[in-house]
Amino acid sequence: MRRIGCAWNADSRWTMQTVVLLLALAVLGVKGAIDDKMEGLISFPDESDVCTFQPGWDGVCQSAASCSWTKLLIYKRYDIPHCDFIDDEPIMCCPKNLTGVELAIKLSESVPSLSYLTEQINKGEPIELPFIAAVGWEKEENPERNESSYQWECGGSLITPSYLLTAAHCVRDISKKYHARMGASDLANDDKTNIQYCPIKKTIKHPDFHPGKKQNDIALAKVQKPFHLHQLVARVSLPTSLENEDEIMKLSVAGWGRTERRARSEKLLHANVTTVPISKCREAYKGSKVILNTHYCAIGEAGNGIEIGDACGGDSGGPLYTTSYISGILKYQLIGIISYGVNCGSPWPGVYVRVSSYLDWIASHLRGEVLELVQLNN
C-alpha cells in the first residue's frame, strides 16, 4: 500500500471479515501476553467506555465491525489502541468523529511554523504566500507541460498536503482537466527547482452550491500526489471558532487577478481589506444577490485616496486571510474564500465565503487526512 507517483498500487476493497481479522491479530499479542496470574489485577475498559485514541482525541470502546473508522485505520497502518476482547472479538478504541472546530484545531496544531518570507487584486503589492496555489486547467493544444501549457484562472489554499480549499465555481466544469501550481509566486517563473505542478484528481463541491446565486461557493480539490512541503509550499490554518457576523476585522486578500490596468498579473499580489457588517452588505446588494450569514463582505483600503485595493476577476477561490506573529513566528489563518464582487476597486464590498461556517462539511471529507497528520505530529 505504498504511494507510487500520483497513484496507489493497492486494492482498497476490504471485507469487514478481513478488517476484523487484521485487527484481532494486531492486538491479540498484547492481550495474550498477559499472564493468567495477572488477570484479576488488570482491568480492561468495557464496550462503550470512553477511551483515549491518542493524546487529545477521545474515543469509545467498540467492536471493530461497528467502528466506522476501522477500514481507514488499518489502511493507513495506524497503531490502533485496543480495549478488550468479547468472545474473541477485538474491542478497539474507536476515535470519535471530530467536529469542524475540533478538526480545525488539530490541523492548526500540526501546521509547521514559518520564518518570514519576502474573480481579483486591485492596487495590490507583490507578496510571497506559501499556502496559495494557482488553480487552472491544462490546454489540450499544448502537450509540452511547461508554463504555457496551463491556463491559470483561480486561486486555492492548501489546508493539507493533498487538499486545497477553493471556490466551487472555479472547478465546476467537469470537461476540464484541472491542475494546481505551488512553489513560486511569479507565474512567469518556470524554475523546476521549487515549482510543483499536480493534477487535481477529485473535486468536492458543496452539495448546496448554487452557481447563479453564488451561494455555498466552496469546494475541496484533492491533488493526485501530495505536495512536498517546505519553506515555499506550506499549509494554512483554518479558523478555530465561529466569528461574529458583524465583527469588523482587518484582513488581506491575494491572487493573480486583474490589476487596476485590467491586465492579469503574473506576480502574486495582495491587498488589505476591512470587513463590512452583513446588514450593510445586504443593503448594498439588495435586489441583485442574496447575502447570507455564511458570507463575509469586505472592502479594500484606498491607496493614496485614489483607488481602492480589492479583489478582481481571476482572484476567485483565493484566500481572505490573517497574518500574525506569535513569539516571532509567522502564522497565517484562512478566514474566507474570494467569491465575487462588482467592478474591481469599486465602493461595493467584495463577497467571500465564510470558512468557519463550513468546518463541519470540511471535516466530513478529511478524516483520513487529519488522522495521518496527527499521527505524523505525535
CA distance 321 to 344: 19
Q: What is the pLDDT of residue 318?
A: 95
Count CA atoms closer than 13 A to 277's CA, side-chain side: 4
Q: Using 50, 70 and 90 to split pLDDT, how confident is the model at 35?
A: very low
Residues 224 and 288 in one domain: no
Q: Using 50, 70 and 90 to split pLDDT, how confident is the model at 347?
A: confident
Top pLDDT among 185 and 367 is at: 185
pLDDT of 147-184, one tens digit each?
667 888 999 999 999 999 999 999 999 889 999 999 98
- Helix or strand run (H / E) with residue 91: strand 89-95
* pLDDT of 246 above 50: yes
* pLDDT of 296 above 90: yes
Picking from 376, 367, 377, the residue whose alpha carbon sits closest to that of residue 73 is 367
Q: Do the domain assignments include residue 242? A: no
Q: Do the domain assignments include residue 181? A: yes
Q: Do the domain assignments include residue 183? A: yes
Top pLDDT among 284 and 374 is at: 284
| Known active-site residue 316 | yes
Q: Do the domain assignments include residue 324? A: yes
Picking from 357, 314, 364, 362, the residue whose alpha carbon sits closest to that of residue 335 is 357
When divided into structural domains, the chain yields a total of 3
Residues 114 and 156 in one domain: yes
Alpha helix positions (H), 12-94:
16-32, 70-75
Q: What is the pLDDT of residue 326?
A: 67
Q: Do the domain assignments include residue 1? A: no
CA distance 304 to 312: 19
CA distance 131 to 233: 6
Residues 104 and 79 in one domain: no
Alpha helix positions (H), the chain:
16-32, 70-75, 100-109, 278-284, 359-365, 367-377
Residues 220 and 304 in one domain: no
Q: Using 50, 70 and 90 to split pLDDT, how confident is the model at 112?
A: low
Residue 298 near residue 251 (C-beta atoms within 8 A): yes
* pLDDT of 314 above 90: no
Top pLDDT among 283 and 345 is at: 283
* pLDDT of 259 above 60: no
Residues 179 and 302 in one domain: no
Q: Select which of 63, 157, 162, 169 is catalytic.
A: 169
Residues 331 and 305 in one domain: yes
Mean pLDDT on 18-43 = 45
How many residues are given for the chain?
378
Q: Do the domain assignments include residue 17? A: no
| Cα 280-274-108 angle, rounded to 5 deg | 115
* pLDDT of 135 above 90: yes
Residues 304 and 340 in one domain: yes
CA distance 91 to 113: 38
> Radius of gyration over alpha carbons of the chain, in Å?
23
Residues with Cβ within 8 Å of 277's Cβ and at least 6 positions away in sequence, in order, are 245, 246, 248, 297
Whole domain around residue 328: which residue ranges? 250-356
Residues 219 and 104 in one domain: yes
| Known active-site residue 217 | yes
Q: Do the domain assignments include residue 39? A: no
Picking from 303, 299, 304, the residue whose alpha carbon sits closest to that of residue 344 is 299
Q: Which residues of 217-251 are buried (b: 16+ CB within 10 A; e: fewer)?
A: bbbbbbbebbbebeebbbbbbbbbeebebeeeeeb
Residue 254, amino acid: A
Residues 193 and 80 in one domain: no
Top pLDDT among 236 and 270 is at: 236
The distance between the two most distant Cα atoms of the chain, rounded to a whole number of Å, is 84
Q: What is the pLDDT of residue 37?
A: 38
* pLDDT of 309 above 60: no
Cell of 98: 471530530
Picking from 234, 254, 235, 250, the residue whose alpha carbon sits closest to that of residue 122 is 254
Residues with Cβ within 8 Å of 353's Cβ and at least 6 positions away in sequence, in order, are 167, 216, 217, 218, 294, 295, 296, 336, 337, 339
Residues 222 and 113 in one domain: yes
Q: What is the pLDDT of residue 258?
A: 61
Mean pLDDT on 325-335 = 81
Residues 67 and 160 in one domain: no
Q: Select which of 157, 185, 316, 339 is catalytic.
A: 316
Q: What is the pLDDT of residue 172?
A: 92
Cell of 344: 474591481
Q: What is the pLDDT of residue 372?
A: 74
Q: Select which of 63, 185, 206, 217 is catalytic.
A: 217
Top pLDDT among 301 and 363 is at: 363
Picking from 156, 200, 160, the residue whose alpha carbon sits closest to that of residue 176 is 200
Q: Do the domain assignments include residue 74? A: yes
* pLDDT of 376 above 60: no
Residues 181 and 220 in one domain: yes
Category of 250 on φ-ψ map: left (φ > 0), alpha (ψ -120 to 50) or beta: beta
Category of 146 on φ-ψ map: left (φ > 0), alpha (ψ -120 to 50) or beta: beta
Last residue of some domain: 78, 96, 114?
96
Pick the range with the lowest mean pLDDT from 40-49, 194-203, 284-293.
Answer: 40-49
Top pLDDT among 205 and 29 is at: 205
Picking from 166, 163, 33, 57, the residue whose alpha carbon sits closest to that of residue 109 is 57
What does pLDDT average to over the chain? Answer: 78
Q: What is the pLDDT of residue 233?
A: 93
* pLDDT of 20 above 60: no
Find the CATH number of the domain harbouring 319. 2.40.10.10
Q: Using 50, 70 and 90 to split pLDDT, how confident is the model at 354?
A: very high
Given 3-state DSSP classes, what are the helix, strand and coil percentages for the chain, each rounded to the nearest 5? 20, 35, 45
